[in-house]
């Protein structure tokens, strides 16, 4: 069977043979290479395939695909809300659990009159110092943790 015409395009016989899948691998490869760059032959091949019936799948994948999309959406929404909830819990834990921020004089009294706190500049100073102490403690802890991980990385070890 002759695959190519004298002008370099595929013969009608080659196109119908390709559509009917009755070619050897070498001929199929030559035709595929030609169809990759020749639009005219590709259009002729498409028209040769047109009268053939389309294949239909045994079962539709629509239901399984929709189920996977719903599961993925639920997972994304859940993880976003879980992250937000964890951030809120962490923030509330820091705010409510930071007893070190409150000076001992104020912790001893349940209520401090607003006039006393506004007129007492030493209260603001003590509050500022307590806040500085807590923040510097966090910075020391974080920098120590970063230095430890950096040393482990430089030594080629794994950090936990």
Please, what's the b/e burial string for 22-59 (b: 16 or more CB within 10 A of its CB; e: otherwise)?
A: ebeeeebeebeebbeeeeebeebbeebeeeeeeeeeee
Model-wide pTM > 0.85: no
**Does residue 64 register a pLDDT over 70?**
yes
Which residues are CB-contacts of 149 (< 8 A; sequence separation ≥ 6)?
A: 159
**Confidence class of residue 104 from pLDDT cuts 50, 70 and 90?**
low
Instruction: Calculate the CA dihedral of residues 149, 150, 155, 157 and round it to 10 degrees.
Output: 30
Q: Where are the alpha helices (DSSP H) in 10-111?
A: 12-20, 25-37, 39-49, 62-96, 104-108
Q: Where are the domains of the chain?
A: 12-49, 74-155
pLDDT in tens, 37-47: 899 988 988 88
Structure tokens at 35: 């169809």
**Does residue 55 register a pLDDT over 50?**
yes
Average of pLDDT values for 82-106? 73
Q: Are 154 and 120 in contact (CB under 8 A)?
A: no
């Amino acid at each position: 069977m002759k695959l190519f015409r004298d002008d370099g395009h595929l013969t009608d016989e080659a196109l119908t043979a390709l559509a009917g899948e009755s070619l050897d691998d070498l001929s199929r490869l030559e035709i595929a290479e030609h169809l990759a760059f020749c639009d005219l032959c590709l259009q002729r091949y498409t028209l040769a395939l047109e009268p053939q019936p389309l294949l239909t799948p045994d079962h539709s994948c629509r239901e399984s695909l929709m189920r996977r999309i719903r599961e993925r959406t639920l997972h994304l929404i859940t993880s976003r809300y879980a992250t937000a909830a964890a951030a809120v819990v962490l923030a509330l834990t820091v705010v409510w659990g930071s007893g070190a921020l409150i000076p001992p004089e104020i912790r001893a009294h349940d209520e401090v009159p607003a006039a006393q706190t506004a007129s007492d500049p030493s209260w603001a100073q003590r509050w500022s110092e307590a806040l500085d102490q807590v923040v510097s403690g966090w910075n020391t802890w974080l920098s120590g943790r970063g230095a430890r991980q950096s040393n482990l990385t430089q030594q080629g070890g794994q950090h936990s």
